[in-house]
Amino acid sequence: MARLLHHRHVLPRRMGSRGQPEESRAAILQAAAKEFAEHGIAGARTDAIAREARVNKALLYYYFKDKETLYGAVLDAAFSGLKTTVFSVLDGDQPPREKIMAYVGAYFDFIASNQLYPRLMQREMMRAREGQSQHIDKVVKNYIQPIFARVSELIRKGTADGEFRPVNPAHFVPSMVAMIVFYFSSAPMMQRIVGFNPLTPERIAERRAAVLDFISAALFRPERNRQERDRLERNATPRKEHAHERA
């Protein structure tokens, strides 16, 4: 009997078994993100998720007691990944200009690498607007609000240092996010408008550069402010007049 138990212990473990909890849970979350992004929580099917994750439904319910719990775990995985990514930049000690560009780049790269998330986020915002979301308060408190607070603080510091134009973070921060997220969530429509696939690596790289350029133009003060340009123009005018008189 002891030999039998030892033999059973050393048998190779299969994907989808309780012997591989981290791998099985990660596979379920990945498959569920795809299903929820495509069909929403109401239309998502747990058997489709289990099939995509290569686990049986009993194991799926072993990790997540119901579909709503699984949906909440998918949201946690998505938003916690985003928060970790951007905080790795926001916790740095770069000057405001460099840090805000690093933040935008990190946000963009995260979404570009997780293109299901914009649709997932969009569906959750719709549920929240209709009063059907059980998760939105947690998402806002744990993820969105801390990111917003840190980026707003960065904008205020850059403004106080004279690096940024005075802007209202309540408007500017959502605008930065929208420039990134909307590009990916609207890709099928944009392909019909512009006549090419906006999600090729080359087009995504172009979009990243365009987003960084647009935000820097909207936020950064020019190297020479208006007073300096006026001073240079005033100094240049007499020289032109003297040259005319000499002629």
Q: Is residue 178 part of a domain?
A: yes
Residues 23 and 142 in one domain: no
Q: Tens digits of per-residue pLDDT, 52-110?
A: 999 999 999 999 999 999 999 999 999 999 999 999 999 999 999 999 999 999 999 99
Distance CA 163, CA 156 (A): 10
Q: Are residues 150 and 78 located together in one domain of the fold?
A: yes
Residue 247 placed within a domain: no
What would the pLDDT profile of 231-243 be if each residue is shown by its tens digit? Answer: 545 665 544 444 4
In this structure, what CATH number is given to the domain that contains residue 217?
1.10.357.10
Query: By residue range, what is the domain housing residue 22?
Result: 15-65
The residues, any chain, with a CB within 8 Å of residue 37's CB and separated by 6 or more, are: 116, 117, 119, 120, 123
pLDDT band for position 119 (cuts 50, 70, 90): confident
- Give the number of domains in the chain: 2
Average pLDDT, the chain: 85
Alpha helix positions (H), 115-198: 117-129, 136-139, 145-160, 169-185, 187-194
Q: Are residues 87 and 207 in the same domain?
A: yes
- In whole angstroms, what is the distance from residue 32 CA to residue 70 CA? 8
pTM over 0.75: yes
Task: Examine residue 1 and state whether it is found in any structural domain, yes or no.
Answer: no
- The answer to whether residue 167 sits within a structural domain is yes
In three-state secondary structure terms, 14 is coil
